[in-house]
Amino acid sequence: MMLTEETTVPDSALPVEQFKAHLRLGTGFGEETLQDAVLNGFLRAAIAAIEARIGRVLIARDYSWSLTRWRDSAGQILPVVPVQSINAVILCGSAGDEEAVDVGLYRLEADSQAPRLRPTGSLLPSVPTGGSVRIELTAGMTSDWGGLPADLCQAVLMLAAHYYEYRNETKLSSGCMPFGVTSLIQRYRVMRLSVGAVQ
């Protein structure tokens, strides 16, 4: 199985001006946009870290997911949350040939914890022998910054500011995340169910 992020969060979706205000950076100077690229980098890092911690995509983007077999042909759980749409399901033969599955043969079962690709009939189409299936989808809580809940916005700004303030620090422990940030994001964590355990 391989998940590929096909598009990235556009610069226009990043709250650079809000981040500057959060950092209390000066304005009205001729060089006030000089750090924008650096600030973008810290915002992207904070978004990625929070997405990894809560198991949710914040800003919508496109993904493709390839697998060699269905785990459950009656409904395949998708690897990202939340899924906004299934854009295509493509069967890939061992010789490199591809065939798009008719959109009438599958549907998205939206779920906040485990969205699924479901067949409209009884089973999903068979994966070619020696081949694979590629699912193209769009996932994310919102398409722009303004659509995110206020507490997640604050968590991103706080974590990006933490990265900015400690950008030269090399002694922080692995996975270090300020307590305020972990408190804000805790309720958004995806609960992964497995046999005999909840993660």
* pLDDT tens column, 156-187: 999 999 999 888 776 655 557 888 999 999 99
Instruction: Express each pLDDT in 92-126 by its tens digit.
Output: 999 989 999 999 999 999 998 999 999 999 999 99
Confidence of residue 28 (pLDDT cuts 50, 70, 90): very low
Q: Check residue 196 and give its pLDDT.
A: 41
Name every residue whose Cβ is closer than 8 Å to that of residue 59 and which is 6 or more positions away in sequence: 9, 13, 47, 140, 141, 142, 143, 144, 145, 148
Q: Which pTM was predicted?
A: 0.84
Lowest mean pLDDT among 22-26, 40-44, 53-57, 113-117: 22-26
Average pLDDT over every residue of 39-64: 95
**C-alpha separations of 195 from 77, 115, 192, 198 in Å:** 16, 19, 10, 8
- Percent of the chain residues topping a pLDDT of 70: 87
Above 80 in pLDDT, residue 191?
no
pLDDT at residue 29 is higher than 50: no
Place of tokens 């303004």: 146
Q: What is the pLDDT of residue 6?
A: 97
Give the orientation angle of helix 16-23 with respect to helix 150-165, to 10 degrees: 60
CA distance 162 to 156: 10
User: Which of 61-75, 82-96, 182-196 bottoms out in mean pLDDT, i.e. has the lowest?
Assistant: 182-196
